[in-house]
Amino acid sequence: MAYVARPFDEARDRDALLALWGATLSDRSLNAKLEERYRWLYASARERRLRTFLVVDDTTDTVIGCSSLVPHAVSVDGELRPAGIGVDLAIAQGHRVAGPAVVLQRAVVDAVARGELGPGAFCFAYPNDGALPVVKRVGYRVVGKTSHAVKPVRTAYKLAPRLPSPHLVRPLAKVGDLALALLDRGRLLRAPVLHNGLVVVRPDERFDALFDRMRRELPVLGDRRAAFLDWRYAQCPTREHVIVGATTRSGRELLGYAIVALEGSTAILVDQLAVSPAATVATFTHLAGELRARGLDSIFASFLGNETLSSSLRASGFFDRGADRSMVLYAPPGAPAPLAEAARWQIFDGELDL
């Protein structure tokens, strides 16, 4: 049996790709939304249309694996550079040996090396533990492990397992929730910034201005302009997202924002950017209030960044929960040095897991 990689052809391979997704996606809830996900990734934003590679069993021409690159832009020392986000590495049951995955990933890195994403492009990904040896074998290197943190928003879910009677949960949770809200207000007083908080339906030109400002201050920062954020979060068909921002009192300037994906009673922090630690605290205070009103319990964050980012999250009420999965990078020779240093990045789940 021989495995061969080939580029995805929509007319020929669409049904095979959807079937492979249905059989292999780790989030089984997506099975009801495969068509919507396909249209979102391949049709709704032509300028970032995925470059997908398939691996086939050469004896039967059966598609048994896929891997994709989402074209992206990343600011490195203030200069926008072409890049790709590696997603959707999947191998069909019965073929899960190293061979097909290696063939796929070699096709991916060869496309980057040939300049298919643009001159000097690189790509990064968030492989699971099983795929990590494969991507390292074809030239990816580990930049760092993502840190985890949790911010409680309500208290009932923590109190219920610890109380002798369920009748005690509701009254004590009211007290606990009030305490959390007061703690957030206290954090605002300790890190004052004149601002208004708001829920954003669609990102606008204020997000462009914030990105242009912050990409000159942060060494490595993925695209946060309104067009990308709108496609990635507001138009996403597979998850509901909430965007909360902090603006100047006039509302004309965005000081910071946070975006979460809603998963049951947990909000997953998928993106965040702010002009200062104080603006970060202000943003998370308003986000916590919005989520508390919606009945959510906590905010979970997985991120790669420097100590300033970590300390800003702690100041906003997040508790450290260790580190987990590796972020990996494939970059051609001569790539900028900051790319290889974990502390130079600021990246959350929204750029690592579509």
Residue 153 and residue 128 in one domain? no
Domain boundary among the residues 139, 172, 193 is at: 139
Cα 145 to Cα 175, 319, 348, 353: the distances in Å are 37, 17, 12, 15
Q: Which residue has the tokens 């060494």?
A: 219
d(Cα 87, Cα 90) in Å, to the nearest integer?
A: 9
How confident is the model over 61-83, as a mean pLDDT? Answer: 94
Q: Are residues 165 and 84 in the same domain?
A: no
Q: Which one of 117, 139, 161 terminates a domain? A: 139
pLDDT in tens, 250-264: 999 999 999 999 999
CATH code assigned at 78: 3.40.630.30
| Model pLDDT, residue 25 | 77
Which of 87, 114, 139 is the endpoint of a domain? 139
Considering the domain architecture, whether residues 19 and 103 belong to the same structural domain is answered as yes
3-state secondary structure of 212: helix
Tell me: do 326 and 344 sit in the same domain. yes
Q: Are residues 79 and 225 in the same domain?
A: no
Contacts of 255 (CB under 8 A, 6+ apart): 193, 195, 210, 245, 246, 247, 248, 274, 275, 276, 279, 282, 283
Whether the pLDDT of residue 300 is over 80: the answer is: yes
Which of 165-179, 280-294, 331-345 has the highest mean predicted lDDT (pLDDT)? Answer: 280-294
With bands split at pLDDT 50, 70 and 90, how would you rate the model's confidence at 1?
low
- 45 with 97, same domain? yes
Q: Which residue segment(s) compose the domain that 289 sits in?
A: 147-351
Q: How confident is the model at residue 49 (pLDDT cuts 50, 70, 90)?
A: confident
Asked if pLDDT for residue 45 goes beyond 70, the answer is no
pLDDT given at position 172: 86
The verdict on 157 and 64 lying in the same domain is no
Domain co-membership, 176 together with 81: no
% of the chain with per-residue pLDDT over 90:
74
Q: State whether 228 and 345 are in the same domain.
A: yes
If asked whether residues 258 and 223 sit together in one domain, one would say yes
pLDDT in tens, 314-336: 999 999 998 888 999 999 888 88
Kindly report which listed range (89-93, 95-99, 175-179, 261-265) carries the lowest average pLDDT score: 95-99
Number of structural domains found in the chain: 2
Task: Label residue 309 by pLDDT band (50, 70, 90).
Answer: very high
Neighbours of 233 (CB within 10 A): 22
Average pLDDT over every residue of 130-148: 94
- Say yes or no: 59 and 119 in one domain: yes
For the ranges 23-37, 229-243, 332-346, which has the lowest average pLDDT? Answer: 23-37
Q: What's the CATH code of the domain at 330?
A: 3.40.630
Alpha-carbon dihedral angle through residues 63, 114, 102, 146, given to the nearest 10 degrees: -110
Q: What is the pLDDT of residue 189?
A: 81
Together in a domain, 310 and 178: yes
